Structure 1
Amino acid sequence: MAQTLSEEAYRKPDNPTTQDILHRDGRPVHPVFEVEAPKFLGDEDIDFARYTSREFMEREFTHLWPRVWQWACREEHIPEPGDYYLYEIGRKSVIVLRDNEDRIRAYVNSCLHRGTKLRSGHREGSTAQLSCPFHGWTWSLEGELTKVPCAWDAPHIRDRDFRLPELKVGLWGGFVFINFDRDAPPLEEYIDPLPEHFLNFDMENRFVEIHIEKELFCNWKAAKEAFIENYHTQTTHPELLAAAYDEPTQYDILGKHVSRFLNAFGVSSPHLDKPLTERELLDTMLVGDRDKLVKASAGEDGETARTIMARTLRAALGEAYGNDLSRFTDTEIIDVSQYGLFPNMIIYPQFTLPVAYRFRPIGRDPDRSLFELMMLRQVPDDGPRPEPAEPVRLKEDESFSKVPGFDRTLAHVFDQDTDNVRAQQEGFYASEKGAQTLLNYQEVRVRYLEQTVDEYLAG
């Protein structure tokens, strides 16, 4: 059972907390970033079989994936009537489209005649109707059966009984979600409190600047769990310690399906023997926009690196992407606020790293997964919405630096993250212990994810 942690249980003596850092900033902190929700979820080991067992994965496909809200695409992927996007999970395939009445629908991608996929191959496209490539049975964008070749030979077929099976669809922040469970709770209830926390970020007015797909040799849960704790930073990303306040990262369990961490930038890691000066901090803080932005200039006497960098990025990002960012606080500009939505989505709303991740099994193999990254930039205040970027697919051994336009420093960080997961997956099989032992606070989101999986598997 979840227990609220006392401050002594998650605060290292003599280290300021993330909240301490945020409240030193020149601008007041938005209330959603003042929320603290630490939980103790137990300290039992977690069995490796849940990452390697085909039987466990089959249980996920039976009891988890059919019952959860899943991010399928962005609304901008299907802006006009007839535009469609294919979403697949395991053996399930879904056509997400915009119909002639501008309504977004999701249909099971299987012909009601003899089962052939109505759409396959390229995931995106546009069509006036859905026609089976095998025998030509055809449905309207509204799901109505409109054509059966040689209909004289099918007097037993009633059009009203042959509507395409339709899934539940929910919209939030420009994201399109689907759910196979027709009795599922509304999306708004499932994702609570995300809408409140993202209210200031106008996620509807984002566009996909970069879309990367990376094939990984690891279980989909292990892939996500590699990103939801900062404990690994001191070993995996030592170059970030200069300006990333990693050990005091704040971890919150915000709801049944939502968790978060807050990581302050512009403050040296406690793992360093000697913290950097404010000037040295400034020279290290342009991760993610190094190629687009100029170096920050020195500020007024007494100003911190955080204040100077926030002001610089507020102006530089606003100019680079055509946005007025004056209303955003320092933490909203420079820090890493990462929200996880169960089961397989991560969203960063802030402007230096505005990304969303998705993690899915590849087929029904417990050892293979697909990691997707979308860079979601603000739509310019003036001018047309840019077209969403086409996905770039990377094999397991290919570097993120191969992706056109992707920041080189950021690519190196993602290479470091994804290089770890094969060794971990192989270690699951090699282990005699057979289970992992987690830290109580810094790895609570890993335990939270696995406990939520178990809740769904239990029915």
Structure 2
Amino acid sequence: MPFHYPKEVVPGEYTIAPEAPPGSHDEKSPPMRELYPNRDDYLHVSPERYFSGAHAQREWDGLWTRTWTCAGRASDIPETGNWFKYDLGRESILVVRTEADRIEAFYNVCQHRGNQLVHGDFGKSERFTCSFHGWQWKINGQTNLITDVSTFKPEVLKGRLNLPSVRCETWAGFVFVNMDDEAPPLADFLAEIPHFMQSYQMEQMHVVKDVVIELDANWKVVLEAFLESYHLQETHPQAKPFVDEVHYQLDFFRNGHGRLHTAIGYPSPRCEDRSTVAPGLAYMLAEAGVDPAAYEGRAMQARDALLAAKRVPDNPYGIDYSGFSDSQVTDDWNYSIFPNMTFNTHPEGVLVMRFLPHPTDPEKSYYHVWVISRKLKGNVRPPAYMGVEPHVDISGETRPARRYNSKLDNELGEVLDQDISNVEGVQRGLHSRAFRFNRYSEQEQRILQLHAEIDRYLSAAPPQ
């Protein structure tokens, strides 16, 4: 029989732990309307937001140059002189460990003729030398050498010659930058996020996968695919036997951040058979140390079996789960940090995604996927859906190279491959003369929040 969405279920308002007290990991946020009284203004969104050059320019001037965005991982610059490059739209930023306990960021541009100083993703330098004429800067941005300085008239070299700095702060092992000197500190911007994510201790995790793909779709089109679970039934039908995407929880935090909490190890109500343990669910049981052949429970009881297996001190992952709530141990908590970052968090590892604008074309973007992993016991891998290949060293001894892949050969695994298969079709369809506007359901409230928060920046109103 066809599935009918239960009338008694309000999308996003179901709580996995309804008695969770304030301040707990499972606490339910206020409804979106309390933070965004105008939320219904975004039930329809104009397609021009996704392809208009004028709108992209407004986003550049009012959003990207004013908000905090994640530049990279602090673990990628472990020693003094280590650096990585962060390209955001038309800007390139150089993030450097200038002292053992200090990270700084500078615009990656020579103050002579504008050449970019570094072109690779990562490196280590005693100084930065322009490949064009040899001007040099110390790693702290101070001018070190001006080639043939005597040939410049004094007035030419007046003013700022050091590398212009960019505000730079860290949280949970991530380095964030902000081009706006007047913006609030990172801690204020992140609002409730550090409280809810602190138990995962992401600063202790290491990168085990790093892939970038250029897509023919606006960055918001790609991001929106990961802000709702409404698409799971059609895009990821193989997940229905072990993911309940009907009874889930949406949370809305200040400054545009949010959370989608989905129960794992629990069949979707859309499944006609909710008793038989499907192969995908059997695999999850095996990962947690439960022999599927010996498991006598039904599919509806598998989530409890997963929880019990992980709570055992000698569990296969070698993790002490005592600092996590039951739902954190078993479920997928998808956090979003405004404007362009999501985290599928698990105690064993986190799937991190960034959605970056193209520097010149609003109908292109860069989809960046990291997988970061805790140190796990033996050869146990992070959750399989994250797509970490069997041959990859997950010990943390070696950092995998960044891969620039194509959408046809993305090496991201089945789930993410299915997700990106939709976005370019969406981008093309937005141009149709037969398409008037996006229409969002209550299952897609996080997308309403995204557009409402963007408009706060574009209207020059201070972030909430």
TM-score range, shorter chain: 0.7 to 0.9
Q: Look up the match of 2:368.
A: 372
Alignment pair present for 1:34 and 2:24: no
Distance 1:145 1:317, change over 3 A: farther
Structure 2 distance, partners of 1:303, 1:32, is 24
Structure 2 distance, partners of 1:262, 1:345, is 16
Is the partner of 1:249 in helix, strand or coil?
A: strand
Alignment pair present for 1:394 and 2:398: no
Q: Look up the match of 2:302.
A: 305
Q: Look up the match of 1:5.
A: none
Contact 2:217 2:423 in 1 (8 A): yes
Aligned length: 433
Structure 2 distance, partners of 1:145, 1:386, is 35
Contact 2:16 2:26 in 1 (8 A): no
- Which of 331, 350, 356 lines up with 2:352 in the alignment? 356
Q: Look up the match of 1:148.
A: 146
Structure 1 distance, partners of 2:425, 2:149, is 57
Structure 1 distance, partners of 2:298, 2:46, is 54
Q: Look up the match of 1:345.
A: 341
Contact 1:267 1:281 in 2 (8 A): no
Contact 1:400 1:414 in 2 (8 A): no
Structure 2 distance, partners of 1:109, 1:300, is 58
Contact 2:86 2:92 in 1 (8 A): yes
Q: Look up the match of 1:453.
A: 454
Q: Look up the match of 1:436.
A: 438
1:340 deviates by 0.6
Identity %: 28
Structure 2 distance, partners of 1:359, 1:131, is 31
Amino acid at match of 1:162: L
Structure 1 distance, partners of 2:238, 2:101, is 48
Q: How do 1:105-124 residues align onto structure 2 when only pairs under 5 Å count?
A: 105-120=104-119, 122-124=120-122
Is the partner of 1:304 in helix, strand or coil?
A: helix
Contact 1:76 1:388 in 2 (8 A): no
Amino acid at match of 1:36: S
Alignment pair present for 1:424 and 2:429: no
Contact 2:288 2:316 in 1 (8 A): no
- What per-residue deviation string (whole Å, max 9, x for no partner) do you get for residues 365-392 of structure 1? 1111111111111135999853332122
Structure 1 distance, partners of 2:74, 2:428, is 38
Query: What is the alpha-carbon root mean square deviation over aligned residues?
Result: 3.2
Distance 1:108 1:14, change over 3 A: closer
Tell which deviates more after alignment, 135-144 or 223-232.
135-144
Contact 1:78 1:98 in 2 (8 A): yes
1:117 deviates by 0.8
Q: Look up the match of 2:224.
A: 225
- What per-residue deviation string (whole Å, max 9, x for no partner) do you get for residues 124-160 of structure 1? 0110011111111111111111111222233446698
Q: Structure 2 regions of 5+ residues with no counterpart?
A: 34-38, 379-393
Distance 1:178 1:302, change over 3 A: closer
Distance 1:12 1:104, change over 3 A: farther
Is the partner of 2:144 in helix, strand or coil?
A: strand
Q: Look up the match of 1:13.
A: 8
Is the partner of 2:165 in helix, strand or coil?
A: coil
Q: Look up the match of 1:95.
A: 94
The alignment's TM-score, normalised by the length of structure 2, stands at: 0.85
Distance 1:428 1:417, change over 3 A: same
Is the partner of 2:95 in helix, strand or coil?
A: strand
Contact 1:243 1:285 in 2 (8 A): no
Contact 1:86 1:93 in 2 (8 A): yes
Structure 2 distance, partners of 1:361, 1:106, is 20
Distance 1:429 1:361, change over 3 A: same
Q: Structure 1 regions of 5+ residues with no counterpart?
A: 1-9, 402-410
Structure 2 distance, partners of 1:421, 1:302, is 33
- What per-residue deviation string (whole Å, max 9, x for no partner) do you get for residues 176-212 of structure 1? 0000111111000001111100121111101011112
1:434 deviates by 2.1
Tell which deviates more after alignment, 128-137 or 148-157.
148-157
1:329 deviates by 3.1
1:293 deviates by 6.7
- What per-residue deviation string (whole Å, max 9, x for no partner) do you get for residues 316-355 of structure 1? 99644x5433443331122111111111001122136621
Q: Look up the match of 2:204.
A: 205
Distance 1:138 1:334, change over 3 A: same
Amino acid at match of 2:28: V
1:292 deviates by 9.4
Structure 2 distance, partners of 1:285, 1:172, is 36
Structure 1 distance, partners of 2:210, 2:157, is 43
- Which of 329, 340, 343 lines up with 2:325 in the alignment? 329
Amino acid at match of 1:343: P
Ranges of 4+ aligned residues in structure 1 off by more than 6 Å:
14-18, 27-30, 157-160, 289-294, 299-303, 381-384
Tell which deviates more after alignment, 167-176 or 366-375.
366-375
